[in-house]
Homo-oligomer: A and B are copies of this chain.
Amino acid sequence: MNKNYYAILMAGGVGSRFWPISTQDFPKQFHDMLGTGDTLIQKTFQRLADLIPKENIYILTNERYNDLVLEQLPDVTQKQVVLEPAMRNTAPCILYASLKIQKENPDALVIVAPSDHWIEDEATFSKNVEQAFQFCSKNDSLMTLGIQPTFPNTGYGYIEFDKTTKETIKSVNQFREKPDYETAKDFISQGNFLWNAGIFMWSVKSVLTAFKNNQPKLYRHFEAGISVYNTQNETDFIKENYPKAENISVDYAIMEKSKNVFVIAAEFDWNDLGTWGSLYDKLDKDENNNAVVNARTLSEDSSGNMIRTKNDKIVVVDGLNDYIIVDKEEVLLIFPKTKEQDIKKTLEQVKNKFGVQYG
C-alpha cells in the first residue's frame, strides 16, 4: 500500500433530513442506515482502507463526535481525529488538516470524501481514486470525482468539463451552484456536466498552494500554527484560532478560483443518501416493494414504504403507500415520501413544540 496516500473523511454534518434517526447528538454517518451491520462511516472507512493505509485516514469532525468516531473506528487513533471546535464550513478544516498532513509527509496525496455516501462498486471506486492520485503525483492539479447525472436534480452542484477531450481525466471549465430545474435540464442535454459529490483529490502540495494563492488570509491564519501541529500544543492553538477562521466552502475558496482543476467521471454507482427516499431507492425491497430496516413487517395493501425501527420490532401496516415510517425510542414519524424535503421543517416544529432534545 502506498505510504503517501492519505484520506480526509468529512464527518461533521448532521443530516437532519434523516430525522428522527439522525440527530445533532447522533448524526446519520454514525448510524447503520442500510441495515448491513455497519454504520455509514464504517463502510466509508473500509472502502478507503482498500487503497489507503489505515493510519493515514484522518477523520474531520466536530468535537462532540470524537467518542463516536473512536468507538466506531477502532483502528483510528486520537491523532487521526481532527476536531473542529466550531462549524466553519469545509475550507478551514481541509486547510488545517492538510497542513498537519504536509508536516507529517510533504509527498502526501490526499482524497477528501464525505463519510456518509453510498458507493456500490468499491473496486471501481479504488481504481478511479488511484487514477487521480497518479495524475496528481505528476501534475500540480486539483481533482474531483464527478457523478454522471441521471436526471435534472436541482439539489446538487454541477461540474462542467471540457467536452473537446476524450481523455479519462478532463479539464474542468467551471463549477456551477445548485441550478433551477430548467438549467439542470439544459446541463444534462449538453452532456458535459457531472454532479459534484464533494470528493476531491490532490497532492498536499497542490492544495496548499491553491489556498496560499486564492485564500492568502485564511492560509496565513492556519499556517501560523505550523510549529505546533502534531504536537501537544496544537489543541490550544486550534481552540484559540479555529473559531476566528472565515466560514467558507472549499468549492468556493479554491476550486472555483483555480485553473488547474480536473475531473474523472466516476464509473461506480453513487448515492448521497441525502433523504429517506434516496435511501429507499438503494435498499432491497420486500415482496410488497417496501424497504425495511431493523423491522419485521406484516403488510397489507401497502407498498413503496420506507420502514425503519430497531431490534426487529414488528410493524403491522395496512393501506399505506409511499410512506416513511421511522420508529425510535422517543419518536415515531409517519410521513409521506413525497414530502421528505419537509422533514427538516417538521424537525424545527418538533423542537419548538417539545424541546430541542428531540433534534
Q: Hey, which bits of chain A sit against chain B, CB under 8 A? A: 20, 296, 298, 300, 309, 311, 313-320, 325, 327, 329-336, 339, 346, 349-350, 353-354, 358
- In the assembled complex, which residues on chain B have CB atoms less than 8 Å from the CB atom of A311? 330
- In the assembled complex, which residues on chain B have CB atoms less than 8 Å from the CB atom of A320? 320, 334
Q: Is the CB of A314 within 8 A of B346?
A: no
Q: Is the CB of B336 within 8 A of A318?
A: yes
Q: Is the CB of A317 within 8 A of B334?
A: yes
Name the prevailing secondary structure of the A interface residues: strand
Q: Is the CB of A331 within 8 A of B313?
A: yes
Say how far A336's CB is from chain B's closest CB, in angstroms.
5
Number of this chain's copies in the complex: 2
Of listed A318, A332, A333, A350, residue having the most chain B CB within 10 A: A332
Q: Is the CB of A354 within 8 A of B318?
A: no
Q: Is the CB of A327 within 8 A of B316?
A: no
Q: Is the CB of A316 within 8 A of B334?
A: yes
Q: Is the CB of B331 within 8 A of A316?
A: yes
In the bound complex, how far is the Cα of B311 from the Cα of A88, in angstroms?
38
In the bound complex, how far is the Cα of B333 from the Cα of A332, in angstroms?
12
Of listed A296, A300, A314, A336, residue having the most chain B CB within 10 A: A314
Kindly identify which residue among B309, B319, B332 contacts A316, using a CB–CB cutoff of 8 Å: B332
Task: Identify the closest chain B residue to A332 (Cβ).
Answer: B315
Q: Would you list the 5 A-B pairs with minimal beta carbon distance, nearest first?
A: A314-B331, A317-B334, A316-B333, A315-B332, A318-B335
